[in-house]
Amino acid sequence: DFWAELGESMEELSFDNCVIWKQKLLSILRYTFRLKRLAIENCPDLFRSWKVLENLTVMYIPTLPALTHISLAGNNKLEEHHFDFIVGMAPKLDSLNVSNCFKGIEAGQRFRMLGHVLRFLEQRQDAIKHFYIGDTPVDNLFLRHLADIKGLRLKSLSLMINDRIPQTEAGIMDLFQLQTNLTYLDLTRSLEVHDTALMQISNNMPLLETLILNRCWMISDYGIGSIKKLTRLKHIDLTNCERISDCGVLEGILTHNRKRLRKLYMGLLTNIGEVVFTKIAFDLNNLAVLDLGGCSNCINDRSIQYIFYHLAGLKNKPNLFFSRCPTPASPGSICPSVRSQSGTCG
């Protein structure tokens, strides 16, 4: 048997879009006692067929003493008893992913599931360090309760905030004020995150290394200028933040030494000009990834020359992206190494 022979050596196991039943899952997990990471993602058939009574009748429930990360992302059929059963197998759990869950279900059920997740976080508040709930609809009430878990000190957090942030008792503002240990923050598609919220992040998260603001349309130059306080950033994603212009990038990203910065995503920033692009080439010498896809105002023959001459980290790695940009006159003649990059023009 494959699992009996090799299961004990596995440290990471992922089921994605699989047709699998509970009994089969348990028969696999009984052999994987060294497992550290488990992902059960986009598996609706598993939870649709998993009934409450089965939890009472199954005699063997595996305990995975080394399991620290569980991902249940993309499961809209997930219910309380499913959640309890799975997280109950991991006494040392410190990382939980419920991104892209609880969509297309009755509002009352979604409210119950979010409340159930909050109660779990409260029970394990001293242990949980990484929590991912991006692309899952949450409201101010959820954020208010999350901020009230005072013992929860996260290192990683992903959220999607699409409810209007109230002027008073805003849960997200209190949450940002509390989570001072964060090194990773992903707010992708948070359409209601505005400049004041970003300033709260900049003032309270000095350890932040990754900041993802992809499609945060309310962010403007005023807010992005405040991230100059975040001196440890290694990864910045401003993709499709259409209100950001040269002024915001110059003030927030290019005002001081950014030797730590390795990844910069600025795709679809149509208000960025050649001046910023040139300054990036001169100042951000340690970049390994640069995405300027759709920045049609700043891509031309001269700016590409600057990039390949000054950014040594990109010369030997296919991590320069400038899709949907004007085609250079002759990429090969501008710089021979351009042919080895993954950028596509036109």
- Over residues 273-282, the mean pLDDT reads 85
Tell me if 12 is assigned to some domain.
yes
Q: What is the CATH number of the domain that holds 126?
A: 3.80.10.10
Cβ-contact 190, 161 below 8 angstroms: yes
Domain around 2: 1-137
What pLDDT, in 10s, does the model give residues 62-112? Answer: 899 999 999 999 999 999 999 999 999 999 999 999 999 998 889 899 999
Tell me what pLDDT residue 53 has.
64
Task: Please determine, for residue 294, whether its predicted confidence score (pLDDT) is greater than 90.
Answer: no
Task: Please determine, for residue 276, whether its predicted confidence score (pLDDT) is greater than 60.
Answer: yes
Question: Nearest-5° angle of CA 41, CA 44, CA 47?
Answer: 100
Task: Please determine, for residue 337, whether its predicted confidence score (pLDDT) is greater than 50.
Answer: no
* Per-residue tokens: 299: 């891509």
Percent residues over pLDDT 90 in the chain: 66
Tell me what pLDDT residue 346 has.
40
Count CB-CB contacts under 10 A for residue 81.
17
Cβ-contact 157, 179 below 8 angstroms: yes
Tell me if 236 is assigned to some domain.
no
Task: Please determine, for residue 324, whether its predicted confidence score (pLDDT) is greater than 60.
Answer: no
Tell me if 105 is assigned to some domain.
yes
Tell me if 59 is assigned to some domain.
yes
What pLDDT, in 10s, does the model give residues 6-28? Answer: 999 999 999 999 999 998 999 99
Tell me if 156 is assigned to some domain.
no
pTM summary value: 0.90
Task: Please determine, for residue 263, whether its predicted confidence score (pLDDT) is greater than 90.
Answer: yes
- Over residues 218-238, the mean pLDDT reads 97
As for how many domains the chain has, the answer is 1
- Over residues 143-168, the mean pLDDT reads 92
Task: Please determine, for residue 343, whether its predicted confidence score (pLDDT) is greater than 60.
Answer: no
Q: Kindly give the interhelix angle for 195-204 and 171-178, rounded to the nearest 10 degrees.
A: 20
Cβ-contact 295, 324 below 8 angstroms: no
Please list, in sequence order, all residues whose beta carbon lies within 8 angstroms of the beta carbon of residue 71, skipping any fewer than 6 positions away.
Answer: 14, 37, 38, 39, 40, 41, 96, 97, 99, 132
Give Cα separations from 170 to 161, 162, 176, 177, 186 (angstroms). 12, 13, 10, 11, 19
Cβ-contact 215, 238 below 8 angstroms: no
Count CB-CB contacts under 10 A for residue 136.
23
